[in-house]
Structure 1
Amino acid sequence: MFDKNFYPTPKEIAFKMIEGLDLRGVNILEPSAGKGDILEVIESKTANIYCIEKNQELQSILREKKYTILGDDFLKFKPDHIFDVILMNPPFDNGVKHLLKAWEISEEGTQIRCLLNRESIENPCTKEKKLLLNIIQNNNGEIEYLGNCFKNGERKTNVEIVLIKLQNKTKRKKFQFNFNEFQKEEINIEELNINQLAKIDILQNLEDRYISVKKLIEEYLVLKNKLEFYLDGIMDKYTVDTLLAKSFNNKNREREYEEIIGNIRNRFWQVIFSKTKLEEKMTSNVKKDFFGNKKEYSIMPFTVENVNKLLEILIQNSKHIFQNCIEEIFDYLTAYYPENRVHIEGWKTNERWMVGRKFILPNMINWLDLKYVKSNIIKSLDYTKADKLRDLEKVLCNLIGKDIMRIKTIEQTIKEGIEFSKWYKSEFFRFKVFKKGTIHFEFLDEKIWNQFNNRACEGKKWLGY
């Protein structure tokens, strides 16, 4: 079942782990989340839930349950979020390392609840185990002995288990400083009298503040300049200024940090998505399906490892993606055959089992353009149908290895202005537009026409191809 370390948390133990925790509006992380057994007992709470899981099959289960996955290797995890609660049932043979990692990424106030093999606590024979015991002792951590609580679990074991409860009290919050380290006396302006010399201590306090503010403004502008430098090509200066301006209105610095970093991280991921140019080769629906996961990727920390994993997925799926694109367009073009009663119209030129070299598509022109056209010239397609034609041209470009940015598309040809009932040429077709909004097409190259049909029918496993 999945792997040797997969021991789903029994529901009663999961409830015990969250006892006494206020989970409203907090960020919760579960490393080694398995199939989400701990998360399921808190999903009714209004919490922001994140998880990490190494096993690909288990990741699929987590995605089906709509959990946000931040990565697959917790020990290499570099967080962009600030977690209020970390709930853990790590691999029994590596649990101490996982708990130390949770401590490392925690902030002041972070609550950690972790299940461990009892032997990890009672036999501190390694530096890591000794360090963990020291952390527990110095932070008033609790150790609760649960016995062999997995003996009746989904996957049984008689290993003795302990529940470690820790709250980080040693770190200073990221966005606070110790006010006791600085002197800021109250300034009573009423004590100043225009008819007497100002009190030296009041004026000196004001001057000290002014000097401090000048220094901080200088540091702020230098940092802002650095920020703009590193974000050059990722985010424009106006957007940077907007993000920083919003921060002045947000009193929750932790959430403000996450919002700003989230925006910036999305831009970095967007660079990767755009540089792959895979979107240029996808049809609208296939792109929607595949990049429905874009949000999932963009919430993951931007690391070399995560980027490489994404690129591996794109490479491994490129043939499958392209086949889906071909079949989507094939189905669209063969929908308008005469016997298809789903549609009002069907044309003899349109085939059912293959795309004819000549075919007709209806309702291609924006009806307002047709209604108000004052001449015999048309310059625009219906925008949804323009997408479909561009999808067709993307598929054909990919089929023969052409760059769609370097061809003359149907849409570009029409934008230049065309007359009704007159033949025009784009890269792959000759076509003419009629006043009722239909367009008649003919493939210019018989070889490309055959390639397209053969590839689509092979994918559908139709005989004869």
Structure 2
Amino acid sequence: MTTPNDSLDFYPTPDSLAFDMVFSLREVKSGFTTYPKPILEPSAGDGALARQVHALAFNVHHDHKTGEVDYYDKEKARSAELDCIELSSDFRAVLKKDGFRVVHDNFLTFRPTTKYAAIVMNPPFSAGAAHLLKALDVMQDGGKVRCLLNAETLRNPCTNERKELAARLEALHATVKYYPDAFKNARRAARVEVALVSVDIPDREPVSRIRLDLKNETAERLKENPEFAALVSSDPITAAIERYNAAAEGVRRIYEEYNGIKSLFSSAGAGKKENPVMAFTKSYNDAIRELRGMYWKQLFEMPQLFDAMTYEMQQDYQKRIKELEGYDFSAYNILTVREEISRNLLSSIDHEIIKLFDDWTNLHYNDEYSKNVHYYNGWCTNSAYKINRKVIFRCNAFDTYDGRFCPRYNATGHVAQIERVLHFLDTNGKPYNGDELRAVLDAAEKSGQTQKIQLHYFTATFYKKGTCHIEFTNTDVLKSFNLYAGQRKGWLPPTYGKKSYHDMAAADRRVVDSYEGEASYTDTLTRHLIPTQSTFLQLNA
């Protein structure tokens, strides 16, 4: 049965105007045009506007010039993400016959559970304000609205309803385009000016009652303990523990809520196997383990721990994340890990110094690397060598796709490894802080500087062929580096650094002469530039 007002308010949307309405929904990303889905058409009539939605959004053929649909595919209509509402029983029958999904009769009483991405509508002119207000309510969490109104509805806000609509459209920064003769040659002609209202409502930030409760509880606890609050604000690790505790409690409450309501999500009846509509794919304990793993991973990326470890240790702890998932992210367990790092640091530093020396002197990588090495006559061997002031090594600092200088993806870690080793040698094991290095390389990336970037101990120049050239500006730390490697490899005599040049045996002096000469050796002794493993013992303190 049709309503009495059907004949008065039934003005099918002209094809060209319907095309404009739907086309305005398009989104272009990376060269591809897409349309938001699902879409609601709440005043569908006999389907004129709904067909245009299919024509554009669901790839049914249409004439781009006139907007007229060439043909209509019922199977696509049935499977498409388009819901229709229509008050007239006659038109509902037509829509269903054509394959449209009709989900309700009266839009003003509609209570949707689907979250629509867009509403496209040509509501009855006599109730346009009420229908558009309803559409704005439906889309309050975000989405697009395209609505055709009698222009008089906007030009003459003579009722409280129209005034409310005008205020809300202004607050939402709606745009309005007027069409004076849009229905002049329409299927049902009318001399009426219409307005196309376009509203893009930004997605509302999700609100979690559990998170709000946790936030208030945390604030209250910190308020009661000012000293702990100060520690949270000043110490990133303590702050991370506090965040983890809140997150873990949030997970517990989510699972508690789910378990309390999950019976509503199940289709199981008496004697039937449970078939949940919605189910958590992880157990509570598995979720907590993954949460711990995420926080442990973040811990090892914090400068307080990251800079304190050698490159080898950083890699080792990243591999141990799965193991650490079994340990709570607590102050006690973090302290245990830090003590372990301290105990293992001495041997790891020694290994890292030698590994870096071997990498720089490995001539099999590239003939160009032969420039890194200076040979000398070692103690009881002829294969001794040390690193020159200029060093070349493999290091990719450029984006593979666009060739842009991006040191933070690879080069920053590589250069930090070098700087960390030199820092340990230079300061006898004082904690390293890589903030300055990261800041310098970030600034170089922003400015595009790739040549002669001044770092703490050397300048660095990066090339697109995948190499980095460094030139030492601190020759003392270079000497310490070479001496440490030379002593560990047995290329320097046992008396090196323990006797003055003239108190050495002739064979030992020949090694010193070949390595650096009397003047340099005397300077080395005078300024205590000879590092040994014993100088790092304080790291274990």
TM-score when scaled to structure 1? 0.45
**Which of structures 1 and 2 has the bigger CA Rg?**
2
Higher relative contact order (CA 8 A, sep 6+): 1
TM-score when scaled to structure 2? 0.39
